[in-house]
Structure 1
C-alpha cells in the first residue's frame, strides 16, 4: 500500500491562477494552468521546448539573481525535472516518491510514496535504469510512473492516490524511468529495458480521469505466427528477417514523446534494437521498423499515421529517445509546423509535422558513421566500415552515450536557436567471435551483441562536452561554450535572452542566448544534470533546478554518492537564502588485511561486475556518483551482509536491486574482484 504524508488538506488558495482555455484538441485538459506562467509538462507546455516566455529575469539584471530557497531531498537519486502549477512545485525522486512544495518558499505540502520496494516486480526492475526523469499533470492530477511499471494518478491538492495501473503486463522484463505525457484525454507511458533482455517495445494510453486503458501501440512486430495487432505491425514485419521475435526486438519508448494539439497526434521517439548488433537481430538485413524512429500516432486511437526512421537497420546504440520539440519555422520562404530532434546519432533533424517529410538534417557534432542524409530519400548515406564488417573493428563517432544524450535541449522561438548539450567521443565496435552462437544473458546483463575490444587497439581520446547554440534553418552552429566534463545538464532558455544550465562542475550557469556570453553562476555544491524550469507566482519570476548527479564513469570532478546533498534550488531576483557550508572529502578505501584475494575467484567476479554492476558502480569499481563507491564500502568484507544486499535486495528502497540470479560462486567472485580492484585503485580517489 502506498504511504502518504499530508501536511495540508488543500493547497493554499492564494496561489490559484487565472485559468486560460486553449483552442485545441483535448480542450479542457489544461484549463487549470496559465500558459507561459506555469510549467505543467516536462518541457514546459505541449511544445516541449524547455523554453519560458518570461523575461522579468533577463540578461540585463541576471547579476541580481540569487537563491530564494532550497529544499533538501532524502533520496538516492533526484535526476528529475519538476513541474509548477498554481504556485505549487511538484517533483519525484528516488523510488518515484512524489513531493509537493510551496513554489515561493519551499515549504513541504505533502509527499506520496508508492512503496516500490515492496512490489514483487521490483526485484528485477530496480536493477536497471536511472531514477524517474519527470512527471505529468492534467485536471488536478499529478502522474508518476514507478520503476516496476505502475502509472499512478495522484490528487494534486491532497497527495492521495486517485488510480493506479500496471503498464508492463506485456513486458515483464521492462522498467520505467521516463515521463508520463498527457495527450488530450489520455496520459501515455512507455518503458525501457531493451539493452538487457528480450523486450518488445510499446506505449500505452490511459484515460486521465479513470485510468482505463484507451489504446496500446507496439513499436516492433511480434511473432508472425500469432498475427499482427494492426496494419502498421504487418508492414513493419516485412522489414525484419530471421526469428527476431525471439529477441523481443527492442524499440522501447523509454523517454521522449510529445503531444501535438494542432494535429491531435502523439510523436514517439523509439529506442535501439535488441541486441544492438543487426547481424544477430535481423541476419538477412532489413530496416527493422520502427527502431530508431519518430512515429506519429492518432492521440485518440493510437493508430499509425507516419514515421521517419533516422537509422534504418540500426546496429549501434543509436536511438530517438532524445527531445522531440515542436515549433514553426520559415524554410525557403514557407512556414512549416516542424518537429525538432537531435538524437544520439549526431544529426539535427527538422521534420514537417503534417506528413513526416524531412526538411533538413545536418551534423551538429563529430560523425563518421554516415557522410550525410540524402534529402531525396531521407536515408543516411552510410560509411560501410561503420557496420564493422568481416570482423574489422571500427572506431565509431558518436559513441553510445550519443552526440546528444537524454539531457534536455532547449529551443527559443525568440532567438530561433536550439541549445544542445553536445558530447564528442568515440567507441570501438566489433563482432563477437561466436556471433552465430549468441545467446541472451538474463539479469541486467548488457546484451549488445558486440565483441570485446581487442587489447591492441588504441583507446579513443577522452570524450568532451560543450553547449552548442544551433540555427535549425541555416543548419549550423552559431556559438558554443565548453563544458567542464563530457556530460552537461539539461537546458532552459527564456525570453529574457538567457540560457540556464547545470554543470558537472557544481555550478548552475547562465549565458546570453544570442551570443553565449557567461553572465551568471551559482555554486550548487553538487553536479547538476536535470533541466531548470521557470515560472511566475504573484508577478514574480522564479528559476528552479534540482542539484543531483550520477554517472557511470568517474566525472571531473567526481561527486561521491554518499557525500551528495541532493536539493531543490530556487532562484529569484534579490533572493535572500544561502546554502550551508560544504566541503567534499576524498573517498577513503576500506580494507581488511586478513582478506586473501583468490585470483581465479576475482576473474569470475570481474565477468559478473562488467556485465551487471559497472553501469552504476563505475568501471574498475571507481564510481561516478550513480551508486556508492565499493572501495569505500565495508559491505563486501562480510559475506553474509553482502549476500543480503546484492542477492536478497536488502537495500532496494535506496535503489540497489536484488540480483537473485547470481550464484554463490558469482557472489564470492564479486567480493574478491572488489578487494582486488580496491587495492589496485586506492590512489584513484
Structure 2
C-alpha cells in the first residue's frame, strides 16, 4: 500500500478487497511500497522475503528464519495447496515479496499467489507455443517446456520465455511493461533458465547448443526500458569477421579448425551470480557444440570459455577473469551449476570464495578476488580424471577417457555428479548440501568421420553414436551429500529415491529440506543428516523449496511437478516411481507449524499398453523406426518408449495407436499449441516406420537391452518412399 493513502482510505480499500474475495472475484494487490533494489536483494536479515533465485545475491539458499527448527519440525503441516492442472514440468524457485509468491510454470507462464491463503492473484501467459508456431515450429522439438525461475527489480518481475524473449511484468497487476527478443528466432536457442537482476539491469542467457550450431552469449538489458546495455559472447566467432573484444581474441587461440561453423556452444542456460562486493557477474558456461571435440576443434585446445566460470564487470560486461573446470570439454561436463558466494577462514585468514560443484564430479573452492583455485576434490566416484593439479588448476586426465579409441566408460556420465538442481550452504554448520547423481556414461564415436560430420538443427548434435534401448532401473542412483568445503570432505550423506533428486534449502533452524523423486518432501538435521520429517506430495519433486515469513509466521513453499531431463529421457530408471503424464496433479504446496490441510486421496493407476493385433510388424521397418525414434522422440517420450512421466507414454496412447490420429499429431501439429512439436518433414514411410516401432515396444514382454544408434548411418536414415 502506498504511504500517501490516509487511514480511512486504507480501511475502505481493505473492505472492498474482503467483499470481492467473498464474492469469489479475483483481485490484484496494489503496487509494493518498497521497490526491489540492490540493498534489498543483498540483505541477509530479516529473511522475511525471498527476492532472488538463491534468496539473495550469495545464492546460498540459506534462510535465517528459525521458527521451524529441528525441535518444532514434528508440528509442520500443510497450510494450503494450489492445484496447477495445466502445468506439466515444474522446476522453478518461487520468489516471495510482502506476502505474495511469484513463480514460473510450464511454457513460462507466470503466477502471483497470496502466500496466506493460496489464492491466485494474477496469471500471465506469454503464449510460447504460439510464438514457436508463428516463427519456426521446428525449434520447439528440443524444448521441454520448463522454466527455472524469475528475477525482481523495482516494481517488476522478469521472465525469460522458451522462444527467447525477456519480459518485464508489473508485480501488482501482471501487466507487461516491455518485451524484447534476446535470441535469433531461427536458431536453436531456447530459454529455460532465470534472469539475474542487479544495478538496474537484467541479465539473461539461453540454452540449445545440443540441438544445432549455436554460439553462447549473455545480454544485459535496462530494467526500466528493455534497452540493451551490453552483451558478452562466451566463445569466439569467425576470426575473419573480427573479435568483439580482447577476451574473444584470447579465447580464439585455444580453438582449432573451423569451430565457428559448429557454433561452439558455451551457452549460459542456468547459473549466473552477482557479487556486490566486487560488482561482478559470474557466468557458469555450458558444454561444447557438438560435444565431441574431435569435430569442433580437431587439433585439440582448451576451447575457452566452455565449461568455465567467467567473471565480468557488472556495469560494462568487460572480462575480468575465468576459471575453466573442464578444459577441452568433450563429455557434456558443463559448469552451468549454481555458484555460491561465501566467506571461509583459510590458513587463519578470511577469504571471499566461490563454491561450485559442476557436472564433472569435483567440488571447487575458488578465490573470488583473483579467480585462482584454492582447492578441488572428488565429490564421489570420478574416473575420467585422477585429481585436479592445484598448481595449474587443471585436471590430471586418465588416458582413454576422451574415447581416443572410439569408446569410453567413465564416471560420471552426461547427467553429471551434480546437475542444475540447486545446492545450498549453511554458514552455521559450514556445510554445503548437494543433490548428487550417481550415473555413469558411455561415449562412442566409432565410424564417425570428424571431417564429414554435419549438424542437423533441431535434433541431437552430440557428434556421438546415440544410446538406444532401456535405461534400466539399476542404471543410476542419487544421494544428498553434506560437504565440508573447507576440509573438502563428505560429512554425511543420505540416499535419495531414484536418480533425479530435487534442489535443497537450508535454514537457521538446523534443517535441510529436499523434495525427492518418489514424491516425498523431507527435512534432515543439518548437522547430522538425521531424517526428521516427511510429507508425501503425490508426485515427484524437482524444484527447490523456499522459506519466508508472513505476519510473523514462517512458511515453506515448494512446487510439485517432477520435471527436467530425467522424467523425459525416461526408461525404467525414471519410470520406477509410477508417475504418469496425466495421472497426478501438479501443485504449489505451502507448510507452516500447525498446518492441518490435507491433499485429496489419489487412485493408483496401472499403465495399460495398447495394441493393434491385426498389424503385421516388419523387422526392417521396426529397425528404421527405432533410429527415427531415438533421434527425434526419445528425448521427451523416453528410452525404449518407456516414459518417466514427463510426456505421454506412447505405448499407452490412443492417439499413437490410431494411424490417422498419429499422423495428425506428428505431421499435422494437432497438439502443437499444447507442447507437442510438429514433424512436418516426415514422409509417410518414415511415419509408418515410427508407428511400427512404437507398436513393437507396446508388444514387448521385456524392455530392450541398451544399445546404440550409429551416427555414421544418419545420412542414410531416409526410408525409400517407394516401399509399400
Q: Which of the five TM-score ranges fits, normalised by the shorter chain? A: over 0.9
Residues 217-236 of structure 1, C-alpha deviation per residue, up to 9 Å, x if partnerless? 11001111111111111110
In structure 2, do the counterparts of structure 1 residues 683 and 338 end up closer, same or farther at CA, with 3 Å as the change threshold? closer
| 3-state DSSP of counterpart to 2:107 | coil
Per the alignment, residue 661 of structure 2 pairs with 641
Residues 116-152 of structure 1, C-alpha deviation per residue, up to 9 Å, x if partnerless? 1211236233322431111111111111111110111
| 3-state DSSP of counterpart to 1:215 | strand
Distance 2:612 2:531 in 1: 49
In structure 2, do the counterparts of structure 1 residues 683 and 585 end up closer, same or farther at CA, with 3 Å as the change threshold? farther
Are positions 1:518 and 2:531 aligned together? Answer: yes
Per the alignment, residue 340 of structure 2 pairs with 325
Per the alignment, residue 81 of structure 2 pairs with 70
Distance 2:646 2:230 in 1: 35
Is 658-667 or 381-390 further displaced after alignment? 658-667
Are positions 1:243 and 2:243 aligned together? Answer: no
Match 1:98 to one of 83, 97, 110? 110
**1:456-471, aligned counterparts within 5 Å?**
462-471=475-484
**1:360-379, aligned counterparts within 5 Å?**
360-379=375-394
TM-score, structure 2 normalization: 0.89
Q: CA contact under 8 A between 1:43 and 1:50: conserved in structure 2?
A: yes
| 3-state DSSP of counterpart to 2:251 | helix
Per the alignment, residue 688 of structure 2 pairs with 668
In structure 2, do the counterparts of structure 1 residues 43 and 436 end up closer, same or farther at CA, with 3 Å as the change threshold? same
Distance 2:152 2:186 in 1: 25
Match 2:216 to one of 193, 201, 207? 201
Match 2:488 to one of 443, 461, 475? 475
Distance 1:559 1:438 in 2: 42
Q: CA contact under 8 A between 1:20 and 1:33: conserved in structure 2?
A: no
Distance 1:162 1:117 in 2: 21
Is 527-536 or 134-143 further displaced after alignment? 134-143
Are positions 1:50 and 2:61 aligned together? Answer: yes
Q: CA contact under 8 A between 2:112 and 2:120: conserved in structure 1?
A: yes
| 3-state DSSP of counterpart to 1:384 | coil
Match 1:114 to one of 120, 126, 135? 126
Distance 1:247 1:532 in 2: 38
Are positions 1:167 and 2:182 aligned together? Answer: yes
| 3-state DSSP of counterpart to 1:258 | strand
Are positions 1:631 and 2:651 aligned together? Answer: yes
Are positions 1:11 and 2:29 aligned together? Answer: yes
| 3-state DSSP of counterpart to 1:99 | strand
In structure 2, do the counterparts of structure 1 residues 453 and 163 end up closer, same or farther at CA, with 3 Å as the change threshold? closer
| 3-state DSSP of counterpart to 2:82 | strand
| 3-state DSSP of counterpart to 1:435 | coil
TM-score, structure 1 normalization: 0.94
Residues 407-440 of structure 1, C-alpha deviation per residue, up to 9 Å, x if partnerless? 1111111111000011112122232313235433
| 3-state DSSP of counterpart to 1:561 | coil
Instruction: Give 1:523 deviation, angstroms.
Output: 0.8
Match 1:535 to one of 527, 548, 568? 548
Match 2:405 to one of 385, 390, 395? 390
Instruction: Give 1:34 deviation, angstroms.
Output: 7.4
Distance 2:477 2:123 in 1: 39
In structure 2, do the counterparts of structure 1 residues 648 and 581 end up closer, same or farther at CA, with 3 Å as the change threshold? same
In structure 2, do the counterparts of structure 1 residues 235 and 441 end up closer, same or farther at CA, with 3 Å as the change threshold? closer
Per the alignment, residue 3 of structure 1 pairs with none
Match 2:296 to one of 281, 286, 289? 281
Distance 1:324 1:217 in 2: 19
Q: CA contact under 8 A between 2:139 and 2:186: conserved in structure 1?
A: no
Distance 2:524 2:120 in 1: 31
Runs of 5+ in structure 2 lacking a partner?
A: 1-23, 705-724
| 3-state DSSP of counterpart to 2:662 | helix
| 3-state DSSP of counterpart to 1:126 | helix
In structure 2, do the counterparts of structure 1 residues 557 and 306 end up closer, same or farther at CA, with 3 Å as the change threshold? same
Runs of 5+ in structure 1 lacking a partner?
A: 1-5
Are positions 1:89 and 2:101 aligned together? Answer: yes
Residues 127-185 of structure 1, C-alpha deviation per residue, up to 9 Å, x if partnerless? 22431111111111111111110111111100110110001038722111111111221
Residues 49-100 of structure 1, C-alpha deviation per residue, up to 9 Å, x if partnerless? 1111110100000000000000001212222221111100011111111111
Distance 1:171 1:439 in 2: 22
Are positions 1:652 and 2:665 aligned together? Answer: no
Distance 2:117 2:291 in 1: 47
In structure 2, do the counterparts of structure 1 residues 146 and 648 end up closer, same or farther at CA, with 3 Å as the change threshold? farther
Aligned pair count? 669
Match 1:192 to one of 169, 192, 207? 207
Q: CA contact under 8 A between 1:82 and 1:91: conserved in structure 2?
A: yes
Instruction: Give 1:665 deviation, angstroms.
Output: 2.5
Distance 2:387 2:153 in 1: 41
Per the alignment, residue 356 of structure 1 pairs with 371
Residues 370-402 of structure 1, C-alpha deviation per residue, up to 9 Å, x if partnerless? 1111111111111121111133x2211001000
